[in-house]
């Protein structure tokens, strides 16, 4: 079946630094989603991408839908302590198909 | 407010007992899902349902059962056959239409501990 490889698995950064993480797939997706999960809570949708090459921002977060349709990137600028959590990517081939989740990137921010 | 609600937040169960986790949504979503999350791990799909009175096994369905008698509700039963039930359980819902965006929205989770 389809698999999503998310990297890095974890990051420990200093407050104020920029963060980059990505997801790659062995096959194409037509929708990419990025979620954030805080400790003990459910994942919350951050950004949804629907078109290859699309670049979408949500505050300090920017995500891109790779032109090959097999990858997506999430960047966080000027990190702050409340950015701590696990970030998950998810891909969907077509509307009506199941989501496939990446393994998550655990972000830790040192004040 | 529209949303998806899981209850309880924390649940303790004696080994050998069945336990049911509740998931309710008022988003008018057709599809509902149950995921299991172990410490430091990603999400693994247990069961999903695209329509009332129908559901499908996910990747790790053994030891679990579900029902979908109402569109709003998708309870998960963790049976005594589940060998390692201690985990964080997440319920999600989404639309299920080929003409609509189908982002999944999650509940706040239920942490189940077997004692």
The confidence band for B41, taking pLDDT boundaries of 50, 70 and 90, is confident
Dist. CA B55–CA B46, nearest whole Å: 11
Q: How far is B12 from chain A (nearest CA, A)?
A: 16
pLDDT tens digits along B56-82: 999 999 999 999 999 999 999 999 989
Residues of chain B contacting residue A43, judged by C-beta atoms under 8 Å apart: 43, 90, 106
Dist. CA B52–CA B34, nearest whole Å: 15
Q: Please answer yes or no on whether B104 and A90 come within 8 Å at the CB atom.
A: yes
pLDDT value at position A2?
52
pLDDT tens digits along B11-36: 999 998 999 999 999 999 999 999 99
Residues of chain B contacting residue A3, judged by C-beta atoms under 8 Å apart: none
Could you say which DSSP state residue B73 is in?
B
Residue B99, pLDDT > 70, answer no
Which of B88, B101, B105 faces A50 most closely, judged by CB atoms? B101
pLDDT tens digits along A58-106: 999 999 999 999 999 999 999 999 999 999 999 988 766 778 899 999 9
pLDDT tens digits along A1-19: 457 899 999 999 999 999 9
Q: How far is A42 from chain B (nearest CA, A)?
A: 4
Cβ neighbors of B104 (< 8 A, separation 6 or more) are A33, A45, A90, A99, B33, B92, B93, B94
The candidate with the shortest Cα–Cα distance to B89, out of B46, B30, B52, B59, is: B46
Cβ neighbors of A87 (< 8 A, separation 6 or more) are A21, A34, A35, A36, A37, A46, A74, A104, A105, A107
Residue pair A67/A80 in contact (Cβ under 8 Å)? The answer is no
Residue pair B45/B60 in contact (Cβ under 8 Å)? The answer is yes
Tokens 């942490």, residue located: B111
Q: Please answer yes or no on whether A43 and B106 come within 8 Å at the CB atom.
A: yes
pLDDT value at position B46?
96
Q: Please answer yes or no on whether A95 and B102 come within 8 Å at the CB atom.
A: yes
Q: How far is B4 from chain A (nearest CA, A)?
A: 10
């Amino acid at each position: 079946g389809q698999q999503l490889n998310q990297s890095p698995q974890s990051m420990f950064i200093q407050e104020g630094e920029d963060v980059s993480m990505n997801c790659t797939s062995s096959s194409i997706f037509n929708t990419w989603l990025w979620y954030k999960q805080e400790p003990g809570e459910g994942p919350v949708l951050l950004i949804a991408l629907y078109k290859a090459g699309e670049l979408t921002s949500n505050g300090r977060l920017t995500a891109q839908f790779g032109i090959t349709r097999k990858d997506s990137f999430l960047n966080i600028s000027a990190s702050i302590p409340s950015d701590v959590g696990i970030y998950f990517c998810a891909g969907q081939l077509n509307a009506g198909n199941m989501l496939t989740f990446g393994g998550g990137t655990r972000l830790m921010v040192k004040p | 407010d529209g949303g998806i609600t899981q209850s309880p937040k924390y649940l303790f169960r004696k080994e050998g007992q069945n336990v049911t986790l509740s998931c309710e949504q008022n988003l008018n979503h057709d599809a509902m899902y149950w995921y299991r999350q172990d410490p430091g791990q990603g999400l693994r799909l247990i069961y999903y349902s695209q329509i009332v009175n129908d559901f499908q096994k996910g990747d790790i369905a053994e030891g679990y059962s579900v029902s979908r008698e109402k569109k709003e509700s998708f309870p998960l039963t963790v049976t005594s056959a589940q060998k390692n039930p201690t985990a964080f359980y997440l319920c999600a819902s989404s639309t299920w239409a080929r003409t609509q965006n189908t982002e999944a929205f999650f509940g706040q989770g239920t942490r189940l501990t077997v004692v």
